[in-house]
Structure 1
Amino acid sequence: MVVKLATVVMKQKTEKHLPGSGIEVRFNQGWFETSPHCPHGPMLLFEKYMKCELTSRYFACSANRDRKSCDYYITEQEYKKKGFNKSSSLSVSSCEDSRPVFKSTTFCFTCQCFIPDGTSPKHKQHKVVGNISEDDLKKPSTLFLSALENNKTCAQYFLSEKSTRFLYNVVIHHNITHVICIGMPRLHEYIQSTSNISSILLDIDDRYKMFWSNEKFCRFNMFNRHFFNPTSKLSFEKFLKSAEHPRNIVIVVDPPFGGLVDCVCESLKWISRSAFSLFDQNSTQLLTTLWLFPYFMEKRIKNQLQLTMLDYRVDYENHRKFKEAKHGRYMSPVRIFTNIENKTVRLPSPYYRFCEICQRFVAKDNLHCKLCNDCPSKDGRTYRHCNVCQICVKPGREHCKTCDRCQPPLHTCNPHTTDGCHSCGEATHKRKDCPLLLNHQKPELSLTKSPNLTIGRSCEDKLTKINSRSGKMCPENLSTNANQQIISTQNSTNRKNSTTENNKLLKFKSRKRKSFFSNPSHHKKKVILLVKNSTVLSFTNP
């Protein structure tokens, strides 16, 4: 990829995350129809920025964080110029769901599929179970399917029986008749086995099609709202119409904890719009929603949707950390975010109580603070009030004057904060909604803190200082004509030494990081500079 603007990339082991750096997803108008496709549906447009400067825009898979699992990748410029030639694979993945699925009363746990009844030489050494009843077929995630464990592609953690019953009771208590289970196979199985209400499972795991029909299961990507089969989308619309009114529908979603919040919010808004449009209602309101996610993502979720967090701790059966615990920091951090009025969601005693002042159920150790006028605890422990911060903080934290906030006793002071906009610094909006970016204006920001290396903003200042040890004159303070003369003389020298410089750069990149960073004096010496004409120069600080 060609870098247009001059960018300084510091290859330092100690500087893994720079302030104002990260990746954001951009949803332009009509993105679902115009984006290139991978086998998992429309690809998402990502914006990568470093030190508050936009460095690249590219399309990548929405379902996999690991490029090895889905190598579909193209920059925005390349897509506009050449298009995308891999979209033919989409039809292959769509045809997979439309094939008839073989089903019998014998299941092979080793191959994770049904096999013909009777003995088979191929599965002789495998773990096989036969005489499966109809009731057993309604519990695939409990009795048959093993959980996927790749955190970068599809990691599955199943709800515990206690948390499943709680969610079911919330649905029943609010007179819900139709439940959309997105990534919630345990709740879907519980409803199908014990209740008369309707439910449909939307999940990206295609193994569930062996157990459920198209009316009960649709292969669905929650990060780009893509149905892998057109008949599945029709089945989903038929399910929505059978509810007779949007108020009878609830969305229960349990996304991967590493998934992007913006993508899930976009899918929830689309499902709500689709439901209201089927009943000829033009509404931007969100359907009744129960979203399971860690409590430390509360701010991200509230910036997108008007949801409040319940104090109920969600436990998982096969997660080594998010299991049931009685007290302390080892309790599950997963909570429920919902648009249901909190006082109507009754949390079970004796671990929860009702706060008369806040008018909601809270954890037993979540004591009410008169100064904050709230029950502030997020993790279930009793918070203490800090008079300097004017908020309640976690137990064990002390106020740090350098950081200007309460921190753990052993911490690295960092007065910088990542809240708000990385471009202009305002706390009222995020970078993607910054007025400067919308008006195509760039804030005056320095790209480097090194006094021996600076980069100008205009085209005349694209060159940087030359290595001071080489003895060449620095063109920083000369006129434009003088700069052009110096450039012409220096380009001839650079052409002669380009092969040598490139070889040295390749050798430098091929070194093992361990051997290079074993000497602390090397940490801040190597700087790689990418300039407009794609010339690569290596500099060494004196």
Structure 2
Amino acid sequence: MFQEKMEKASKTEVSLEDLARNPRCPHGPTVLFKDSVKGKKRKYYSCSAYRDKKTCGFHVDKSSKITPGKRMNWTEQENRFLKHKNHAERYKHFIDFRSSQKQDGFFCQKCEIICDKTGHEDHTITRFSAADLSTPSRILEAKAENKKEAQFFFSESSRDYLLKVVKKTGGTHVLCIGTPTLYEALPGSIKKLFLDIDTRYLGLLSPEQFCWFNMMNFHFFHGDVAKNRLRSFIRSAGSNLTIFLDPPFGGRMELIHHTIQSIQSILEQEMGRGVSKPKLCWIFPYFMERKLKELGLGLEMCEYRVSYINHKEYSGGEGGRNLGSPVRFFTNIPLSSLPLPNADEYKQCTDCGFYVSSTNIHCKECNACTSKDGRPYVHCPDCSRCVKETYVHCADCVRCHLPAFKCKKENEQAEDNADGVTTIKPQAVEKQKSSEQSKKSGKRKYFGSRGRGGNNNKQRGGGGRGGKRRKF
């Protein structure tokens, strides 16, 4: 279902020209979208971060006139959104708590600050110990609204494996974008900076540790002060910069790509064009591999299954998907340099030179371990590639697909019927002639159960809209 939604969304085009000059919503510069509804083409500006109108209802047709009054109204909305979100003021509550040497305290999930209970009786309050402040994500309640700020934290095993990746590849400076638990687990010997859109970290991490950031349009809510913090961090990293990125799975990849390019541009400005590109680890579902590779970032899919503690299907444990989490990480780090996970689910492939899923089988024809989702794949000589073992080759489609899939031939017939062209089979022609002769003779001819309303209609099951949909 999620994969179908992503394919549908891909029909909407994104324009990144003059992004900084686009109309602004509270979440920074909006994005120009192009799509078609019922054959009518549309161009409009909308929020880069949120699709839910309740969270951000900004929508402006490109053809509409943008008056000074409209711009003033948008500026006022942005200022109201930024009100009471000063980083230094919020973090002062953290400093005061540390100075008090108290062993436990309270965090208001609504006001997003460390507080006393007084004045917050009607709010959701979380009690914490002083030790919990080193891992702020344990204090926060994970946001799980799918259309808003779906927030899933890495499981301990996944977090520990990503730490191994940093250590094995010699990382010294790690930029964490949307990966709070990884940021918190990095040792003191690693220089690190955390970027995220979650404002609650303003009261738990200092301005030197955290920047309030929208990864969908490279927008720093606190302006040049925060942007210069990133610039300073990139300058100190030089060629040793590693980026871990865990964006919303429904986010437009073109926008995330724009953010990565912006970081690369800052690196080149600080260190010169000859500087090595940052090591990149992009967390994303395996079925988006082709789209990610089209971005030209040199990413390859690592078969490690990334799991989350607060997402049942992606937990990798009991109650989750039979094939485990569909989430992988894509990286420009050579796969042969990655450490082998401590699990029976993986094995080293001597032919590929790196580890793969234990159920993966090396194909001599493809010269690769071809399984993507953990199921065995088989080689199709007609397609010259490996496919899922449940697929069959279709001569009409000239490709492999599930047997119940409506193939090209059936689709063409359906399109002909939709255009008013009726395809009549030879048997139907004979029946039509017989019927006309019967009418002339004053007699009716019956076709039994295969006529209209007969048992023939029951055969139309399975592969159509009423059939079962496969989950990703």
Mark yes or no: TM-score above 0.5. yes
Residue 197 (structure 1) shift: 0.7
- Counterpart in 2 of 1:273? 265
TM-score between the two structures when normalised by the length of structure 1: 0.67
- Counterpart in 1 of 2:436? none
- Counterpart in 1 of 2:56? 70
Q: Any conservation in 2 of the 1:158–1:186 contact (CA below 8 Å)?
A: yes
Distance 1:80 1:116, change over 3 A: closer
Distance 1:265 1:120, change over 3 A: same
Q: Which amino acid aligns with 1:120?
A: T
- Counterpart in 2 of 1:306? 298
What SS does the aligned partner of 1:154 have? coil
Q: Any conservation in 2 of the 1:273–1:284 contact (CA below 8 Å)?
A: no
- Counterpart in 1 of 2:453? none
CA separation in 2, counterparts of 1:126 and 1:73? 33
What SS does the aligned partner of 1:319 have? coil
| 1:39 is the counterpart of 2:13 | no
Q: Which amino acid aligns with 1:178?
A: H
Distance 1:318 1:450, change over 3 A: same
What SS does the aligned partner of 1:213 have? coil
- Counterpart in 1 of 2:454? none
Distance 1:115 1:360, change over 3 A: closer
Q: 1:158 aligns with which of 134, 146, 153?
A: 153
What SS does the aligned partner of 1:257 have? coil
- Structure 2, unmatched stretches of 5+, are 98-103, 422-472
- Counterpart in 1 of 2:15? 26
Q: 1:321 aligns with which of 310, 313, 319?
A: 313
| 1:335 is the counterpart of 2:328 | yes
Q: Any conservation in 1 of the 2:109–2:141 contact (CA below 8 Å)?
A: no
| 1:90 is the counterpart of 2:78 | yes
Q: Any conservation in 2 of the 1:112–1:145 contact (CA below 8 Å)?
A: no
Q: Which has the higher contact order (CA 8 A, sep 6+)?
A: 1
RMSD (Å), alpha carbons: 3.1
| 1:203 is the counterpart of 2:196 | yes
What SS does the aligned partner of 2:73 have? coil
- Counterpart in 2 of 1:139? 135
Q: Any conservation in 2 of the 1:355–1:362 contact (CA below 8 Å)?
A: yes
CA-to-partner distance for each residue in 1:340-388, whole Å, 9 max, x for gaps? Answer: 0111112225322222222221111111011111110111222111222
CA separation in 2, counterparts of 1:381 and 1:18? 22
CA separation in 1, counterparts of 2:123 and 2:368? 60
Q: Any conservation in 1 of the 2:175–2:244 contact (CA below 8 Å)?
A: yes
CA separation in 1, counterparts of 2:89 and 2:371? 51
- Counterpart in 2 of 1:427? none
CA-to-partner distance for each residue in 1:220-278, whole Å, 9 max, x for gaps? Answer: 000000000022112212222222x2x21111000011111111111111111112211
What SS does the aligned partner of 2:368 have? coil
- Counterpart in 2 of 1:379? 373
Aligned positions, number: 396
Q: Any conservation in 2 of the 1:294–1:335 contact (CA below 8 Å)?
A: yes
- Structure 2 counterparts to residues 7-406 of structure 1, below 5 A: 22-28=11-17, 30-32=18-20, 34-49=21-36, 55-79=41-65, 84-88=71-75, 89-94=77-82, 96-98=85-87, 100-101=89-90, 102-103=93-94, 104=97, 105-108=104-107, 111=110, 113-114=112-113, 116-117=115-116, 120=118, 122-123=120-121, 128-129=126-127, 132-133=129-130, 135-142=131-138, 144-191=139-186, 194-230=187-223, 231-243=225-237, 245=238, 247-279=239-271, 281-282=272-273, 286-304=277-295, 305-325=297-317, 329-348=322-341, 349-406=343-400
Distance 1:285 1:78, change over 3 A: farther
CA separation in 2, counterparts of 1:57 and 1:449? 29
| 1:407 is the counterpart of 2:401 | yes
CA separation in 2, counterparts of 1:125 and 1:85? 33
- Counterpart in 1 of 2:433? none
Distance 1:265 1:124, change over 3 A: closer
Q: Any conservation in 2 of the 1:47–1:54 contact (CA below 8 Å)?
A: no
CA separation in 2, counterparts of 1:317 and 1:284? 37
Residue 17 (structure 1) shift: 12
TM-score between the two structures when normalised by the length of structure 2: 0.76
CA separation in 2, counterparts of 1:406 and 1:312? 27
What SS does the aligned partner of 2:248 have? coil
What SS does the aligned partner of 1:77 have? coil
* Percent identity over paired residues: 35
CA-to-partner distance for each residue in 1:87-113, whole Å, 9 max, x for gaps? Answer: 313344445234501333521466474
CA separation in 1, counterparts of 2:71 and 2:215? 23
Residue 54 (structure 1) shift: 7.0
CA-to-partner distance for each residue in 1:306-352, whole Å, 9 max, x for gaps? Answer: 21111111011100101125998431111111110111112225322
What SS does the aligned partner of 2:281 have? strand
CA separation in 2, counterparts of 1:139 and 1:343? 32
Distance 1:282 1:98, change over 3 A: same
- Structure 1, unmatched stretches of 5+, are 1-15, 418-445, 453-542
Q: Any conservation in 2 of the 1:404–1:415 contact (CA below 8 Å)?
A: no
